[in-house]
Structure 1
Amino acid sequence: MLHHIHYLDKKSAAFLSEALIKHFSKKTDYTEIVVVCIGTNRYSGDSLGPIVGSRLFERLEGNRHVHIYGTLDKPVHALNLQRTLSYIANRHSQAYIIAVDACLGQFYKIGTLQLVEEPLQPGAGLGKQLHAIGHIHIKGIINNHGPLNHKVMEHTSLTFVNEMAAVISRILVKASQEIIPHLLSVNPKDNQASS
């Protein structure tokens, strides 16, 4: 299922965080949340994921239930994606995984945030065959899809990308705060059983 809304819509954070929480609640046997933010810090258009990751790291650092992969300092991209996914599979085997990435789309959809209830296929818009990521993913349409996609990614407004990243970060922080009490590791029944 696809949920979409423009990032400037005042209801965007509430709308997409609610859809994310509903998706999580369909199967609640997760012990933690992992957010994988895909992209690079070399092109403004492709920096959406790492900017989101850095913002989340600032907001959620120290929270033992949420793990962020892909920041401006340590981006997750095509060259290290497989290694990162192997690490996540070994270290976070029962995690609810949310992927974040930038994408290109039709001109009239620029600025739209999409929450898609299936794994992310990173690099698809640039013809790359990379491993799918996550139980669900958020994409931000940052520019127009066309014959020169690499050039478009290079020449996207960083201010625009930053604004979109701020909204995605709010969505993920809000959803995480709602989801954390329902993770298996913090279930009150589990705590009573262990005491």
Structure 2
Amino acid sequence: MCHSHYLDKKSVELLSEALVRHYAKRPHFSEIAILCIGTNRHSWDSLGPSVGSRLLERLQGHPRIRVYGTLDKPIHALNIHKQLDAIARAHPNAYTIAVDACIGQFFKIGTLQFVEEPLVPGLGLQKELPPVGHVHFKGVVNNHGALNPKVMEHGSLTFVHEMAAVLSRVLVKASGDIVPMLAAAPDAEGSPSRTLSSTS
């Protein structure tokens, strides 16, 4: 696991490089799918959808990168099974990156974590949900001892948005480095699709 506090100026470089290194070990996927998990109903659990909305602004229309889970169309406990099935059918050869908020020890609040294994969403709240992604990013948004619903509901939205801004920069940078390594994928006419920069 690689981790860094979102206020650390080296966070974007450190975390993006960790993701690129992981992909470089298995460069046989033809596209990238980023699945941002969470809800728009609670500030503390809006990290994933906030990241998804920011990424969609930067990457919408990119031929090799797909973003799912935004503030307008979140992926959460009630629809995750249906969403994962649809995404798996639409993108069977995608390198899948999951993003979610999590709770942790008090001194870890604000930490962004890159984990080289699938995300198990809802684990901290004892929900049984399917694993997501080949790898995942988590942002520690609150203390695991503060599970009182009223405390969680009134978490700082500004704090979550600042974390989302950093994490979206990590993913844009890493995606731009990974795209040239993706395996060729045929377009609608059967010829390899062209590779574009993640900032196009």
The answer to whether TM tops 0.5 is yes
- 1:140 matched to 2:129? The reply is no
Q: Which runs of 5+ in 1 are unaligned?
A: none
Matching residue of 2:152: 153
Alpha-carbon shift at residue 146 of structure 1 (Å): 1.6
Structural RMSD (CA): 1.4
Tell me the TM-score normalized by structure 2. Answer: 0.91
Q: Quick one: distance in 1 between partners of 2:117 and 2:152?
A: 24
Matching residue of 1:34: 33
Alpha-carbon shift at residue 186 of structure 1 (Å): 6.3
Q: Quick one: distance in 1 between partners of 2:13 and 2:185?
A: 24
Q: Quick one: distance in 1 between partners of 2:42 and 2:146?
A: 17
SS in 2 for 1:161: helix
Letter in 2 for 1:63: H
Select between 100-109 and 148-157 the one with higher mean Cα deviation: 148-157
Q: Quick one: distance in 2 between partners of 1:150 and 1:121?
A: 21
Alpha-carbon shift at residue 151 of structure 1 (Å): 3.4
Change (3 A) 1:29 1:148: same
Matching residue of 1:43: 42
Q: Quick one: distance in 2 between partners of 1:62 and 1:149?
A: 40
Q: Quick one: distance in 1 between partners of 2:180 and 2:148?
A: 41
Q: Deviations over 1:27-64 (max 9, x none)?
A: 01101000000000000000000000000000001101
Matching residue of 1:52: 51
Alpha-carbon shift at residue 147 of structure 1 (Å): 5.6
Size of the aligned set, in residue pairs, is 188
Q: What is the percentage of aligned positions where both structures have the same residue?
A: 62
Moved over 2 A (4+): 147-153
SS in 1 for 2:98: strand
Give runs of aligned pairs for residues 19-98 of structure 1, distance below 5 A.
19-98=18-97
Alpha-carbon shift at residue 171 of structure 1 (Å): 0.3
Greater fraction helix: 1
Tell me the TM-score normalized by structure 1. Answer: 0.93
SS in 2 for 1:16: helix
Q: Quick one: distance in 2 between partners of 1:13 and 1:136?
A: 17
Q: Quick one: distance in 2 between partners of 1:69 and 1:137?
A: 14
Q: Which runs of 5+ in 2 are unaligned?
A: 193-200
Matching residue of 1:117: 116
Checking the alignment, whether the CA contact within 8 Å between 2:111 and 2:139 is kept in structure 1 is yes
Checking the alignment, whether the CA contact within 8 Å between 2:2 and 2:115 is kept in structure 1 is yes
SS in 2 for 1:184: coil
Q: Quick one: distance in 2 between partners of 1:7 and 1:185?
A: 34
